[in-house]
Structure 1
């Protein structure tokens, strides 16, 4: 949300602006065009029949091509990334090793790194917002700590350590309330990366399949709750 002061007046007039600088009138124009768009000629027509007066640059083209959502919908097929990812290749190697300790591959699903979770975390902490920038500092510091601690204990980086060796390090930081005082900062780092790993993994197709989530599906019929559920609720 922008920190700039709103310029809209308290009356809700047509020319008042919302937080993104769009007037109520502009929004109504777009809605009106969307309402009549299905009756308009196809996109191959020589001249668009939709009214475009007062629309911002680019909105006319979207309207001429037929209904494609509101004027401010993002293009999910051709996403634009407005910031540069900040984690280095070496940091991503360490992050991938940690993500795979949190969600390793098993008989049901792939590991976190196999479905792109490190890239998701990299994009998240690289966002140019205060909260994300604080998380970038925490993640970078935590990754450096993992390598320092692993070298001290095993003479190798965290990514090169065996699964058993990584487990020894993670056991000291995986539960903040029980972490030693000297491990508190690393435990807070681990706690946040664990959350981000779960978010990234369980929003992929593989993660949703692992949960057994099927989403909205067309069913040929619906038999109602199974008998076991009705019995559990005392309804059978």
Structure 2
């Protein structure tokens, strides 16, 4: 049986797939935004200047309270734990990113807000039901036991809604982590860096494509 501990954490081998999926999940199409905005009576005001560096919570009021942030922190770190080369998700600001994301006034972000808030509440309720404690206060094996049920490919009926929350939270965690300098370094992503020479694609790649 595939478990959270075996396959649902994000390691370097699967990170590229996750970050691509997360990027697609995080995208806010301009056409959809324009349509939704046109239907809005009050709107959400002017977009902030995203070319400026803002402090956490400067753009709009944040959503998560202390208990919710504690739950979000341990869940993020279960999904992307620290290893010998990189810190855990919460150490690079993933919880701040998720809080900013669900607090943003845009329609797609606001759709995510109840999913995340209700999902975090469910984790604490389930932790109390099973282990008589909050999710953040559980031992790791107890947290994993809960996450096994909501990360399965085909979750049991009682966990279907929580599984939808977990899938979305995992995508947001991956998107937040692997778009930081630390996450990009973890992926060995170089980016748009000037090169003095370019030798072209490796021979083995050309052969695989039938070009050599």
TM-score by length of 1: 0.66
The yes-or-no answer on 1:152 pairing with 2:129 is yes
- C-alpha distance 229-130 of structure 1, shift in aligned 2 (>3 A): closer
Measure, in 1, the Cα distance between the counterparts of 2:203 and 2:89: 37
Structure with the higher fraction of residues in helix conformation: 2
Work out the CA distance in 1 between the residues paired with 2:102 and 2:74.
18
CA RMSD of aligned residues (A): 2.5
Q: Name the counterpart of 1:198.
A: 174
Question: Partner of 1:219: helix, strand, or coil?
Answer: coil
1:3 aligns with 2:23: no
Q: Is 2:190 the counterpart of 1:214? A: yes
* Aligned position for 2:164: 188
Q: 1:205–1:74: structure 2 CA closer, same or farther, 3 Å change rule?
A: closer
Unaligned runs of 5+ in 1: 6-19, 21-71
Unaligned runs of 5+ in 2: 1-33
> The residue matched to 1:178 in structure 2 has which SS?
coil
Counterpart in the other structure of 1:133: 110
> What SS does the corresponding residue of 1:3 show, helix, strand or coil?
helix
- Specify whether residues 190 and 235 from structure 1 end up closer, same or farther in structure 2 by C-alpha distance, changes over 3 A only: same
Greater Rg, structure 1 or structure 2? 1
Using the alignment, how far apart are the partners of 1:134 and 1:235 within structure 2? 46
CA deviations over 1:148-203 (Å, ceiling 9, x no partner): 1112212221111121111110010013x511111111111111101100110110
Q: Which residue number in structure 2 is paired with residue 119 of structure 1? A: 96
Q: TM-score, normalised by structure 2?
A: 0.72
Which string of whole-angstrom CA distances, capped at 9 and with x for unpartnered residues, describes residues 62-86 of structure 1? xxxxxxxxxx964423579431001
- Cα distance in 1 for partners of 2:60, 2:80 equals 28
- What's the CA shift for 1:235? 3.3
Matches of 2:105 and 2:50 in 1, distance apart? 19
Higher relative contact order (CA 8 A, sep 6+): 2
Q: What is the deviation of 1:216?
A: 0.9
CA distance, structure 2, for counterparts of residue 155 and residue 78 of structure 1: 40
Question: CA separation in 2, counterparts of 1:85 and 1:193?
Answer: 17
Q: Which residue of structure 2 lines up, in the alignment, with residue 12 of structure 1?
A: none
How is 1:17-96 mapped onto 2 (pairs within 5 angstroms)? 74-78=50-54, 81-96=58-73
**C-alpha spacing 1:226/1:130, structure 2 compared with 1 (3 Å):** closer
In the TM superposition, residue 217 of structure 1 has moved relative to its aligned partner by 1.0
